[in-house]
Amino acid sequence: MKDRSLELKGWHKQVVCKKSKKRGSCKKKMAMMHNLYGQIDLATSAKYRAEEVLSRLSTKYPSFMKPMIRSNVSGGFWLSLPRLFCQLHMPRHDITVTLVDESQEEYKTKYLAERNGLSGGWRGFSLSHDLVEGDVLVFQLFRFCKLKVYMVRANYLAEVDAALVLLHLDAHHKQIDPG
């Protein structure tokens, strides 16, 4: 008998559960996979542009990129950070982390060490920057618990968005390394 646990259909993945302990869990998985791959062109474009921004950042400071998903920009407003980044560069206790946007505005957030993520204050940052699912953020730690945030929009034209991000990036580098 053919294994039907995972089938690919176009850009969508179909998940078929053999036996589920929770009622409706297969439907939830299907919906999540459909939502994840439903905007593949926009998300992929933003990801490639974010990788370009990331590649232009100085390796002197640790950095990472984070695609925005629904829980980051609506509802719970939670932002998990990469575990390895947290282990290497973040304190092992809860602390306030400052996010600095491209306009040099600062936003205080609550870093929860046990969960490797940002909680309190992240909602305000997300809403004030109109972040949506599919946007990709590039974070760069340039001081203790201070992250510079570059935003690559999923819904904007690639050339305009990339030019603006790179313009801000060049200006930021001149402020950090005046030489």
pLDDT digits (tens, 9 = 90+) for 81-100: 999 999 999 999 999 999 99
| CA nearest to 49, candidates 132, 148, 138, 123 | 138
My answer on whether 69 and 121 are in the same domain is yes
For residues 163-169, give the mean pLDDT: 63
Q: What is the domain count for the chain?
A: 2
What percent of the chain stands above pLDDT 90?
45
My answer on whether 21 and 90 are in the same domain is no
CA distance 108 to 104: 13
My answer on whether 100 and 156 are in the same domain is yes
What is the separation of C-alpha 46 from the centre of its chain, rounded to a whole number of angstroms? Answer: 11
My answer on whether 134 and 54 are in the same domain is yes
Domain presence at residue 149: yes
Range of the domain at 22: 6-38
My answer on whether 141 and 170 are in the same domain is yes
Chain segment 43-52, per-residue pLDDT in tens: 578 888 888 8
Domain presence at residue 1: no
My answer on whether 63 and 135 are in the same domain is yes
pLDDT band at residue 76, thresholds of 50, 70 and 90?
A: confident
